[in-house]
Structure 1
Amino acid sequence: MLDPLDVISSLENVFPTLQPIYSADAQTIVGYEVFNCFKQDETKYALDAFFLDDTIPTEYRFDASMEIGKKALHVMEVHNFSGFFVFKNTIDVLLHDDYEAFTQLVDDSSFIQFDQIIIEIQEPDLQSNFEKVEHLLNYLKTYGYRLSISQVGIRGGQLDRLTQIQPNTMKLDLPLLRQQLSTEALRDMLYTITLHARKIGAALAFEKIEQEHQLQEAWRYGGRYYQGSLLGDKLNSIVTEDLTKLFLQEALGRFTIQERKRLETVQDWSDKFSDKLRNIVSKPVNLEALDNEIFQLAQHFTKEAFRFYACNEVGFQLSSNIEKEEGVWILKEEYKSRNWSWRPYFLTQILRMNREKTGMVSDFYSDIETGEWIRTFAFPLGQSTFLFIDLTYEYLYEHDYLLLSSFA
């Protein structure tokens, strides 16, 4: 057990270790995360607990952080490293001097640029101290520092607050999230985070990647940066020969081939689903008896769907909802005349169906009624009328290639 007093009294023994970070686009090392360590009697200790222990006076943790920062910057200079270094910070240490001492170190360097330094803060720490640190983070970004928020999604963080500080990177810890969430809940969260990252222009980073299936999951959800023992352990210095580049290139190539095959399978399924509808739907569809036509149609899709309805090309619902409750199809007339043009991708789907004259399946989205993530198959009925079929989760599960949206 490491005594914090040993660290405080022997700052010369604190030092950084570096874990390589790979990018999907370059398939090579583009940066390193700095881990805080301490050496005592030939034993190396991680200092994570030391820096998170708020019973240790902030100035002591600040001094240790500065010493490690100096040594890490020295490594960058000695190796003329042109990539980035990620420095983890707690809010109280960051606020101790508003990062002025570290900023002076970077400013004094003739080689290191501010945009090579990424300031990383854990999202739970950020959320509980947001008002204290928001202005400082935005101020530091004016120097050129980049900002990373780690442990995104842990404890159900508020993603809207990230919009206010516009981080450059959002980092996810897949093993930790998987411990906390069911498979379905994890997929929902990853999808939501991916959407939000795109919205604010943040790159996604995935840490603690230990197995290839975790790397594939990170790639599938749009991860740009990867790190973990699968790709490289923590080192005392910068790697001079990148032995993982070939492995990463081959892995991403396999993932791409597998995903292409899955998308081809989805397209084949979509074509067959459209053919089934064409063989059943009357031509032309009787708009005067639209509820009855859709009700009769629903009888052929008891296993596949739980809701049918039809809209015109500007989003107004022309039919009732035909919904399955306890295995029985019922009409809900109160949904007539509602407008769904505001839903994501609605107009895009309408334009594509008008042009391609065939059906298409949506990405996953949150159902207004149930709050569950679902997929909808849309099909042109003619006469500027479009049928929407909400697919059951059981059906998606049986056809597991549909459980992953084209987005992910």
Structure 2
Amino acid sequence: MIIGSPLAFFQPFIDTATGRIAGVEALGRLRQEDGSYESVGPLFFNPKIPLFDLRRLDRLIREDALQHFHGAPADWFLSLNISPRWISRLKPGQQLPSLKQLERYAIDPRRVVFEITELSGNQTRLLEVVNLYREAGARIAIDDFGAGYSQLDRVLDLQPDILKLDMRLFQAAARGGPSSELVKALAIMAEKTGCWIIAEGVETEEELSFALECGARYVQGFLFAQGTRDFHPAETHVDRFAELRAHYVQHKLTEREQMMSLRQELARFVQSIRPWAESKATLSALPLPHDYPWLLRIYQCDRHGTQISPNLEWNGMFWQENRRYLNHNWSWRPYFYSLLAEGWQERRLNVSNVYRDATTNQYCITAGQFIHNGERLLLVDIDASCLPGF
């Protein structure tokens, strides 16, 4: 049973380029007799509530949002949730109720983003409906992106304009660890497909920083505003956002300085072991790396990528050999051929991006420099967990 009067609340999207409110998402609420408000979200997952009642509730909230949106600035957009469950029940050729609502309330479809929620519904029918939305001028977003791998084929089929990162995945990723790399990879995929990223659930400065690192076009969350009935001026959060963005930039500059310092340490270390590597001296003559806690191993490859020396690993007390990877060829690894291409031209130390080692499952960075007149490559693997910001 649905108790209360349905209406729309609005939560703003903050444009990361300006700090201004660029639009709002319509959120369903039920006004109770005591004046309090309850979210309608849980109702749509309650199997005891008839689908007819849910469709009617959904329509009433959307109508209230469209009617209220006339009070918003003319350059804002309105994001409306659309369930594939409703779309799948439409008859072929039937005019879309949501587009009829836009027409009835004189809202330009170009100001509207339709958020496709959930994973249910007929994919073919959904694509037909999305094409009709696009023909009308509306934009398409996929909500909770990253919550399920089955959404990847949906992205390829629907080619959305916007991807909203799954809030739980995003908040976990902002705390670091493997999920962080996954979300960054999703963000890169979105960028390559021409999508804008929206980070929702931004509640802390750390989560905002992670959203910016992922290249989010808009952010949404309690750090700036909860859903409210009224619209706030577009400039409401500009000053605060600018301050937080400045904190982020300063933090990244500090990380960059620390990385430059690490690079200098790496260069010193490589120079200290280079004479040993080029002289083919005994293992006992290899300098001790007491000042380099990030060191994992050193080894050598020929210029074609084949490993020609054992891995030399420091166990905290002495060097030890690991001959397991002799004659393995690493030229196919992204970190290696970038080192090969850049380092051969400039004869300087090159440092890879962070990657996960396929054997140890450990996050690493590899530094390399050509030695012995360019015939060999001296490589150093370091533990990426020691890096700033990891």
TM-score (norm 2): 0.82
Hey, what does 2:51 align to over in structure 1?
A: 58
How far off its partner does 1:35 sit?
Answer: 0.2
Tell whether 2:366 aligns with 1:376: yes
Distance 1:204 1:330 in 2: 47
Hey, what does 2:218 align to over in structure 1?
A: 225
Tell whether 2:109 aligns with 1:113: yes
Distance 1:312 1:360 in 2: 16
What amino acid sits opposite 1:121 in the alignment? I
Deviations 1:55-106 (A, max 9, x none): 4233322222222222222233343532221112332133333881102233
Hey, what does 2:306 align to over in structure 1?
A: 317
Q: 2:237 is matched with which residue: 236, 241, 244?
A: 244
| Residue identity (%) | 18
Deviations 1:12-52 (A, max 9, x none): x3111100110111221111111011213123221001223
Hey, what does 1:332 align to over in structure 2?
A: 323
Hey, what does 2:139 align to over in structure 1?
A: 146
How far off its partner does 1:190 sit?
Answer: 2.5
What amino acid sits opposite 2:356 in the alignment? S
Hey, what does 2:127 align to over in structure 1?
A: 135
Tell whether 2:25 aligns with 1:29: no
CA RMSD of aligned residues (A): 3.5
Hey, what does 1:350 align to over in structure 2?
A: 340
Structure 1 residues 300 and 140, CA gap change in structure 2 (3 angstroms): farther
What amino acid sits opposite 1:225 in the alignment? Y
Aligned residues of 2:307 and 2:325 also touching (Cα < 8 A): no
Aligned residues of 1:148 and 1:167 also touching (Cα < 8 A): yes
Corresponding residue SS for 2:265: helix
Deviations 1:225-262 (A, max 9, x none): 11112212212132235221111012112211221121
What amino acid sits opposite 2:213 in the alignment? R
Counterparts of 1:278-297 in structure 2 under 5 Å?
Answer: 278-282=271-275, 285=278
Deviations 1:298-342 (A, max 9, x none): 9648843334444455x532424516497763343655252424x
How far off its partner does 1:117 sit?
Answer: 2.0
Structure 1 residues 380 and 230, CA gap change in structure 2 (3 angstroms): same
How far off its partner does 1:276 sit?
Answer: 1.9
Counterparts of 1:168-207 in structure 2 under 5 Å?
Answer: 168-173=161-166, 178=171, 183-207=176-200
Distance 2:195 2:285 in 1: 47
Hey, what does 1:256 align to over in structure 2?
A: 249
Structure 1 residues 387 and 198, CA gap change in structure 2 (3 angstroms): farther
Distance 2:20 2:297 in 1: 47
Deviations 1:322-370 (A, max 9, x none): 16497763343655252424x3354444343345543233222232223
Aligned residues of 2:296 and 2:383 also touching (Cα < 8 A): yes
Runs of at least 5 residues in structure 2 that lack an aligned partner in the other structure = none
More helix by share: 1
Structure 1 residues 154 and 171, CA gap change in structure 2 (3 angstroms): same
What amino acid sits opposite 1:316 in the alignment? G
Greater Cα shift, 362-371 or 22-31: 362-371
Structure 1 residues 350 and 66, CA gap change in structure 2 (3 angstroms): same
How far off its partner does 1:162 sit?
Answer: 3.0
Aligned residues of 1:357 and 1:380 also touching (Cα < 8 A): yes
Aligned residues of 1:59 and 1:96 also touching (Cα < 8 A): no
Deviations 1:90-146 (A, max 9, x none): 3213333388110223355655133x3222234xx32x5574665346524532432
